[in-house]
Amino acid sequence: MTPRPASTLALVRNTLDGVEVLMLQRTHQAAFLPGFYVFPGGAVDPSDQHPELDEVITGHNDTSASALMGIDHNGIGYLVAAIRESFEEAGILLAQTSQGEPVNPSHPLLANARLPIANGDTDLLALCREHDLKLPLDRIGYIDHWVTPPGPPRRFDTRFFVAAAPDGQTASHDGEETIDHCWLSPAQALVDHQSGERLFGAPTLSVLRRLARFRNCDEILADAMQQTPTPFPTEPWPAQRQGDIVSVAPGQPAYSEVRKLDPRARGTAHAVIRPGHWVQLSDTVSRLTVPNPGMMTGPGTNTYLIETDEGAIAIDPGPDHSDHLQALLERLEGQTLRYILATHTHKDHSPGARALKAATGAALWGIPAPADGLQDTDFSPEQIPVDGERLQLGTVSLKALHTPGHASNHLCFLHEQDNILFSGDHIMQGSTVVINPPDGDMADYLTSLNRLLGETIEWIAPGHGFLMAYPDMVVDFLVSHRLGRERKVIDALNNNGPGTLADLTPHAYADVSPALHPVASRSLLAHLIKLQKDGRAGESDGTWQLIR
């Protein structure tokens, strides 16, 4: 599916308390982001690229607009679409009179032309000609670019813009595609996101964080005019798969890694995880994957080796696997393994530490297993790192981050020179992790995800899968996904409760294959326990009901 060109416009205004941004809530029946709060926006229409638009626009032509966005042509279409969608969805028209003044709030076209524009009965070119208006494209700042990854029913190649809302014009949702609207400070929107009060998509959150840095609209627009966003990659990349050169599309699991490892596009990186084969990820970091593929482990468990002039560090030695141990020892020949780190004690991550320690004498770092009998209780670390503690070896420093949620003893380790986060099972590629109570805790998991946004991270090295780019986007997606699922759990309780886990799982996870419902029911329990802690759900004899 080829992503469709689209535009989104963040409308901002000054208030006595600082900047506010207009948010619209999408209908719950929408195929894309149902119930989420978004900026006005939508697909670029043919009328947005009409060849005669030049007579009614100022500040840009197609050449300059396309250069701004790093494309060959049709840049004007994105900018005009942003103005049109703002008018259709929010009733705000970014246009000027022939004297250069904003459209007067009492102008009848604001009420009379909105529906014809939305229905396609007229377009902005005709509207501007009829009322002698201009579209001031230089009043719009270009701030972000995002392409929907494969998977959703619709995909968009979206350009994000920002503009000051005209004084006096009143915003309103259209009652069809959008069902509510509000003006929020960017900071408040982010708070509402973390609490689950409102749902926001990952790209929207990225823009909100950018807007939250500024005190007023002038600062926002000045920054937008000076800082052109990096284009989101859209071109396929060559890579090896089973001896052949294949094309890896953006959004596919290997894409970010093959681009990083093969920046000249020579087809030297691999598009599949190959257990037993070393992959050099940076000057100091390499990866070896255990041959233990499965439903819960994906292509296998990743062991990471950090090599310095003063010795080496192994992260997550994996299960007790003789071939994997031998490959590690062969790689370490001639150097000293100083430390073995475990992100957590699930049995696909830490049991291999015993044999590796016996062979090398390296010190074990990690947190012992909880006393539930389900994890690697033989893992006995010499050092139990506290949150924020650093391990320094040569020129490399690793920062320990306590990230409970998937497991109560879970740690991530941040390579502070390469800005690589070794995420264990806190973040996995290609799927969300199972949160299995009682050791797994959904509230802790969401808190642990959000705290990563305060760290300087460029790459995520997961316990299973390829390197992952755009770490903030990854975190935002995971949090939004979980909060979206929480809404489905609440709907299931409201519409189908009271009920047991078996009663509620088919409704809360109607979009998931029934074959996965036994696993999904464990995450459902984690959501229910979180709602119970929040005072929104109650349980009696295994039956759950909604309280408020």
DSSP 218-282: HHHHHHHHH-PPPPPP-S-EEEEETTEEEEEPTTSTTHHHHHHH-TT--S-SBSS--TT--EE-S
Question: Could you tell me where in the chain the CATH 3.60.15.10 domains are found?
Answer: 273-469
Distance between CA 198 and CA 187 in Å, rounded?
13
CATH number of 480-546: 1.10.10.10
- What residues contact 322, with CB distance under 8 A and at least 6 apart? none
Could you tell me the two tokens for 292?
A: 């233990």
Q: Per-residue confidence of the chain (548 residues) as pLDDT tens digits?
A: 688 999 999 999 999 999 999 999 999 888 778 899 999 999 999 999 999 999 999 999 999 999 999 999 999 999 999 999 999 999 999 999 988 889 989 898 998 999 999 999 999 999 999 999 999 999 999 999 998 877 777 789 999 999 999 999 999 998 888 999 999 999 999 999 998 899 999 999 999 999 999 999 999 999 999 988 888 888 899 999 998 999 998 889 999 999 999 999 999 999 999 999 999 999 999 999 999 998 889 999 999 999 999 999 999 999 999 999 999 999 999 999 999 999 999 999 999 999 999 999 999 999 999 988 889 999 999 999 999 999 999 999 999 999 999 999 999 999 999 999 999 999 998 778 989 999 999 999 999 999 999 999 999 999 999 999 999 999 999 999 999 999 999 999 999 999 999 999 999 999 899 999 998 999 999 999 999 999 999 999 999 999 98
Q: Which amino acid is at 352?
A: G
CATH number of 4-226: 3.90.79.10
Contact at 8 Å (CB) between 400 and 438? no
Degrees to nearest 5, angle at CA 215 with 210 and 217: 80
CA-based nearest residue to 192, from 200, 180, 181: 200
β-strand partners of 298: 294
Question: Could you tell me where in the chain the CATH 1.10.10.10 domains are found?
Answer: 480-546
Question: Could you tell me where in the chain the CATH 3.90.79.10 domains are found?
Answer: 4-226
CATH number of 273-469: 3.60.15.10
Burial (CB < 10 A; 0-12, 13-18, 19+), residue 86, is: buried
CA-based nearest residue to 46, from 129, 161, 123: 123
